[in-house]
Amino acid sequence: MTGEPHGKTLLALTRGDPSGIGPELALKAWAALHQDPEAPAFLIAAEPDHLAALAQRLRLAVPIEPIGAATDAAALFRRALPVLDSKLTVKGKPGSPHAEDAAGTIASIETCVNLVKAGAAAAIVTNPIAKEVLYRAGFPHPGHTEFLGALAERLYQSSVRPVMLLWSPELAVVPATIHIALKDVPARLTTDLLVETGRIVAHDFRQRFGLAHPRLAFTGLNPHAGEGGAMGREEIDVIAPALAQLKAAGIDVSGPHPADTLFDAKARKTYDVVIAMYHDQALIPIKTIAFAHAVNVTLGLPFIRTSPDHGTAFAIAGQGVADPSSLIEALRLAGRLANECPAR
């Protein structure tokens, strides 16, 4: 990516769970970015009164400007935080979420996706949600990523397979399986799944990140990548056939590699992204290396979506101590991706 100025790019930020740290992060992100001419402008789909009260309580000098449409939000951003008014009232308190707020959390996501679909915003950035709160309200999706995939299929009328990427300048990782029990991973790990994941990652690294020939490194599933079958056959029976198919398609892949030697500084110079076999195999190294500034990016969607690489942090919500670094990086990355590699 070239690093060209992208200050005229407007992003749509969701509110996340209003009882978590999302609203505080949004206020702090505006304070950090609104005077930077190269930073992307953003609006947030939320409740103006709730944000204004929080800013006052935390003594954050953030003017709140309710808006009814995205028009002119980019210009407004330089002097106030544009809030696309949900016309709702937040029921929960900081650190104490309320099930009645789930509808507003879902509506905020839908609103932001619709803005991108309509061309009113260039990308969507999502604040953290609390899945257990949404589940109590009947939310049928395993998580954020799956919900965005369902919205994309409905709005864009095309088949979608979302892929989770955790990105930082130091390391990029993709978990092939995500929010499932560890005991279920071997059964869900198929050659077809790995081939599809590899194709999506390679495509989006070319189209979104501007890498002409992205290098994909695959981990093994078992210790020592199976040790030639002595510690498991998934590397032989599942992973190696997937790599052969990807190589035949012209994609630069390597592996399966032992996961315990793939993430040191020297090894990271040999690839652009790691495709790991399960959630923690991917997320432990990137959260160790780049916890404060890693960004969650959803690949495989017809629009750009980023988010901070952390949760709602109810334990510290409303205390003024939440670190906005990851959200700021998510906004900056979304702006760069939207500016240089527009949505498909």
CATH classification at residue 287 = 3.40.718.10
Q: Are 152 and 266 part of one and the same domain?
A: no
Quick: pLDDT tens for 301-321. 999 999 998 889 999 999 999
Q: Are 293 and 224 part of one and the same domain?
A: yes
Q: Are 187 and 71 part of one and the same domain?
A: no
What is the predicted pLDDT for the residue at 4? 38
Q: Are 84 and 96 part of one and the same domain?
A: yes
305 among the known binding-site residues? yes
What is the predicted pLDDT for the residue at 8? 56
Low-confidence ranges of the chain (pLDDT < 70): 1-8, 341-344
Return d(Cα 240, Cα 155) in angstroms, integer: 36
Q: Look up the domain containing 266 and give its range.
A: 163-300
298 among the known binding-site residues? no
Return d(Cα 86, Cα 157) in angstroms, integer: 26
Residues present in the chain in total: 344
Q: Are 317 and 261 part of one and the same domain?
A: no
279 among the known binding-site residues? yes
Last residue of a domain, one of 300, 317, 332: 300
The distance from CA 87 to its chain's CA centroid, rounded to whole angstroms, is 26
What is the predicted pLDDT for the residue at 92? 93
Instruction: Encode the chain in three state secondary structure.
Output: CCCCCCCCCEEEEECCCCCCCHHHHHHHHHHHHCCCCCCCEEEEEECHHHHHHHHHHCCCCCCEEEECCCCCHHHHCCCCEEEEECCCCCCCECCECCHHHHHHHHHHHHHHHHHHHCCCCCEEECCCCCHHHHHHCCCCCCCHHHHHHHHHHHHHCCCCCCEEEEECCCCEEEECCCCCCHHHHHHHCCHHHHHHHHHHHHHHHHHCCCCCCCEEEEECCCHHHHHHHCCCCHHHHHHHHHHHHHHHCCCEEEEEECHHHCCCHHHHCCCCEEEECCHHHHHHHHHHHHCCCCEEEEECCCCCEEEECCCCCHHHCCCCCCCCHHHHHHHHHHHHHHHHCCCC
Q: Are 175 and 234 part of one and the same domain?
A: yes
Q: Are 201 and 270 part of one and the same domain?
A: yes
Beta carbons of 303 and 116 less than 8 angstroms apart: yes
296 among the known binding-site residues? yes
224 among the known binding-site residues? yes
pTM: 0.89
Q: How many CA atoms lie within 13 A of 307 on its CB side?
A: 22
What is the predicted pLDDT for the residue at 143? 81
Last residue of a domain, one of 300, 315, 330: 300
What is the predicted pLDDT for the residue at 3? 37
Q: Are 7 and 155 part of one and the same domain?
A: yes
What is the predicted pLDDT for the residue at 341? 61
Return d(Cα 46, Cα 108) in angstroms, integer: 7
Tally the domains of the chain: 2
Return d(Cα 19, Cα 5) in angstroms, integer: 34
Q: Are 49 and 63 part of one and the same domain?
A: yes
Q: Are 51 and 117 part of one and the same domain?
A: yes
145 among the known binding-site residues? yes
What is the predicted pLDDT for the residue at 206? 94
Q: Are 317 and 285 part of one and the same domain?
A: no
What is the predicted pLDDT for the residue at 232? 93
Q: Are 11 and 152 part of one and the same domain?
A: yes
